[in-house]
Amino acid sequence: MGLIVQKFGGTSVANPDRIRNVAKRVARTYDAGNDVVVILSAMAGVTDGLIHLANKMTETPDRRELDVLLATGEQTTAALLSMTLKSMNYPARSLLGFQAEVKTDCAFGNARIVEVGAGQIKNLLTDHNIVVVAGFQGCDTEGNITTLGRGGSDTSAVAIAAALKADKCEIFTDVDGIYTADPNVCNKAKKLSKISCEEMLEMASLGAKVLHLRSVEFALKHHVPVYVRSSFNEEEGTMLINGEQDMERPVVSGITYSKNEARITLKKVPDQPGIAAKIFGPISDANINVDMIIQNTRAGGQTDLTFTVPKNEYQKALDLEREVAQQIGAEDVFGDDNIAKVSVIGVGMKSHSGVAARMFSALAKENINIIMISTSEIRISCVVEQRQAELAVRVLHTAFGLDRE
Ligand code: ADP
Ligand code: ASP
Ligand code: MG
């Protein structure tokens, strides 16, 4: 018996039958004597559909109004689940983000949770209700509806679990745990019974969308016990653990990929102090995140500079750099959004050499060209052509001995 937060993702609530299954699962947890708070995503495809609809009205939808629109996806499922539970004679109550006191900053479309009040949730639990909260949404100090960024209902769940000091937070999704690589891309991927928050943070930031990055940050900071499980079976899932795992660990623990990248090159840039600041100043002013940067020196006091940005910021970044190029006298600016970033990740890499060499030779064997490279203590990433991303994941998975027997 305890307080359990259960989050169900888009595929888990994709249609009425699945919502009924979710209701049964929630009811079972409640019948076992637990207090239950449920966090829901929108039905699979609905958020994409709403964005599409907004783009039919205008190419640049107002960000505040877009959040008002996007939040309706989760409002729908929260109401549908609550009415289903009530029809089964369970005391349920749905709450929107603002009613659950999910307070955020005002960055529409990518808001950060600042605080979760949860007073109303606690009162409803005291009266033995099952509380169903619309995920992905919150409210800023002015009372505007905000959304937390794509995939953000994981973060709603973990943040609410943290505020309630829940005994556990279960993330139910369409795979039965966290794997060494996306199991939908690499059929030899292995399910992990546990993973450290440190590694999961890296995996999430490098493309493993099974958990929203900020949900892992919350789990780490507030010591929330998080489990990732399937909503379609009873399999044990993967437990997120705080701190180092066992001493005996593989050097590489996972492979990820992300197609959400684009690169921009400035050709023949004058090689002088202050040039990098001129190139990246406008990008940073526009709140665009730059990830990898490489600079090659040419003869004659000139250099080529290439960097990557998120794909959805590509056009904006390219336009900004065209202006910069004129100001600094660079010869040309061009870019490519047909790329992907493939990464090998492992806390064990800290104490091992040779990981990079093994990665490069495995990719070379399959004729996969490496366009850019970046490294940190616990990961190495390579940019490759987008069409080779999945192949690269599989090749690296095998090369680092991660394949299931
Ligand atoms: P939900 O709608 O339930 O939030 P998501 O689609 O956001 O589900 O996340 C689940 C998906 O994450 C899986 O279907 C899988 O394709 C993908 N995924 C990527 N990397 C991994 C990984 N390492 N382990 C498990 N799933 C992964
Ligand atoms: N419905 C939102 C999305 O599709 C949030 C989520 O599913 O976590 O991104
Ligand atoms: Mg998700």
Q: What is the mean pLDDT of the chain?
A: 95
292/382 Cα distance (integer angstroms): 10
Residue span of the structural domain in which 8 resides: 3-174
Q: Nearest Cα to 252, choosing from 151, 362, 385?
A: 362
What was the pLDDT predicted at 364? Answer: 97
CATH of the domain at 152: 3.40.1160.10
Check whether 223 has a pLDDT greater than 60: yes
Q: How sure is the predictor about 287, in pLDDT bands with cuts at 50, 70 and 90?
A: confident
- Which residues sit with their C-beta closer than 6 Å to ligand 2? 9-10, 41-42, 47, 73, 135-136, 150-153
End-to-end Cα spacing for the chain: 38
Within 10 A of 80 (CB to CB), how many other CB atoms are there? Answer: 20
Query: Is the residue at 240 inside a domain?
Result: no
User: Could you tell me if residue 321 is left (phi over 0), alpha (psi between -120 and 50 degrees) or otherwise beta?
Assistant: alpha
- Verify that 148 and 278 share a domain, yes or no: no
What was the pLDDT predicted at 86? Answer: 98
Query: Is the residue at 237 inside a domain?
Result: no
Q: How sure is the predictor about 246, in pLDDT bands with cuts at 50, 70 and 90?
A: low
Locate the DSSP E strands across 253-330. 254-270, 293-297, 302-310
- Verify that 281 and 381 share a domain, yes or no: yes
- Which residues sit with their C-beta closer than 6 Å to ligand 1? 9-12, 41, 151, 173-175, 178-179, 181-184, 208-210
Asked whether 241 and 196 are in contact (CB, 8 A), the reply is yes
CA angle 228, 231, 232 (to 5 degrees): 130
Query: Is the residue at 98 inside a domain?
Result: yes
**Closest ligand, as measured to the CA of 152:** 2
**Closest ligand, as measured to the CA of 9:** 1
- State the residue for tokens 């359990």: 4
**Among 112, 140, 174, which residue terminates a domain?**
174
145/127 Cα distance (integer angstroms): 28
Q: How sure is the predictor about 242, in pLDDT bands with cuts at 50, 70 and 90?
A: confident
Q: Nearest Cα to 209, choosing from 372, 400, 7, 9?
A: 9
- State the residue for tokens 């990740």: 345
Q: What is the mean pLDDT of residues 321-335?
A: 95
- Verify that 164 and 284 share a domain, yes or no: no
Q: What percent of the chain has pLDDT over 90?
A: 89
Minimal-distance CA residue to ligand 2 atom 8? 151
Expressed in percent and rounded to 5, the helix, strand and coil fractions of the chain are 40, 25, 35
Query: Is the residue at 82 inside a domain?
Result: yes
What was the pLDDT predicted at 300? Answer: 83
What was the pLDDT predicted at 347? Answer: 85
- Verify that 26 and 154 share a domain, yes or no: yes
Higher pLDDT, 272 or 364: 364
Tell me the one-letter amino acid at 359.
M
The pTM score is 0.93
Check whether 249 has a pLDDT greater than 90: no
Q: What is the mean pLDDT of residues 132-145?
A: 98
Check whether 205 has a pLDDT greater than 80: yes
Query: Is the residue at 395 inside a domain?
Result: yes
- State the residue for tokens 């290439």: 306
Check whether 41 has a pLDDT greater than 70: yes
Check whether 256 has a pLDDT greater than 70: yes
Minimal-distance CA residue to ligand 2 atom 9? 150
**Among 159, 174, 189, which residue terminates a domain?**
174
- Verify that 58 and 167 share a domain, yes or no: yes
Query: Is the residue at 113 inside a domain?
Result: yes
HSE (side-chain half, CA atoms, 13 Å) at 23: 24
HSE (side-chain half, CA atoms, 13 Å) at 197: 16
- Verify that 125 and 267 share a domain, yes or no: no
Query: Is the residue at 355 inside a domain?
Result: yes
Check whether 247 has a pLDDT greater than 60: no
Check whether 120 has a pLDDT greater than 90: yes
Asked whether 335 and 264 are in contact (CB, 8 A), the reply is yes
DSSP string, 201-240: HHHHHTT-TTS-HHHHHHHHHHT--EEEEESSS----EEE
- Verify that 262 and 168 share a domain, yes or no: no
- Verify that 30 and 132 share a domain, yes or no: yes
What was the pLDDT predicted at 245? Answer: 59
Kindly state the tokens that stand for 95: 């709450």
Check whether 401 has a pLDDT greater than 90: yes
Rg (CA), the chain: 23
Q: Which residues contact 153 (CB under 8 A, 6 or more apart)?
A: 7, 9, 39, 40, 41, 74, 135, 136, 212
**Among 125, 148, 174, which residue terminates a domain?**
174
Higher pLDDT, 59 or 92: 92
Taken in order 254, 257, 260, 263, the sign of the CA dihedral is positive
Q: What is the mean pLDDT of residues 154-179?
A: 98
- Verify that 372 and 271 share a domain, yes or no: yes
CATH of the domain at 356: 3.30.2130.10
Q: How sure is the predictor about 301, in pLDDT bands with cuts at 50, 70 and 90?
A: confident
Query: What is the tally of structural domains in the chain?
Result: 2
- Verify that 163 and 288 share a domain, yes or no: no
- Verify that 14 and 157 share a domain, yes or no: yes
Asked whether 400 and 358 are in contact (CB, 8 A), the reply is yes
Q: How sure is the predictor about 393, in pLDDT bands with cuts at 50, 70 and 90?
A: very high
Query: Is the residue at 226 inside a domain?
Result: no
Higher pLDDT, 232 or 249: 232
What was the pLDDT predicted at 298? Answer: 77
Q: Could you tell me the distance, in angstroms and rounded to a whole number, from the CA of residue 135 to the centre of ligand 3?
A: 11
β-strand pairing of 194-196 with 238-241? parallel
Q: What is the mean pLDDT of residues 70-80?
A: 98
**Closest ligand, as measured to the CA of 7:** 1
Q: Could you tell me the distance, in angstroms and rounded to a whole number, from the CA of residue 182 to the centre of ligand 1?
A: 7
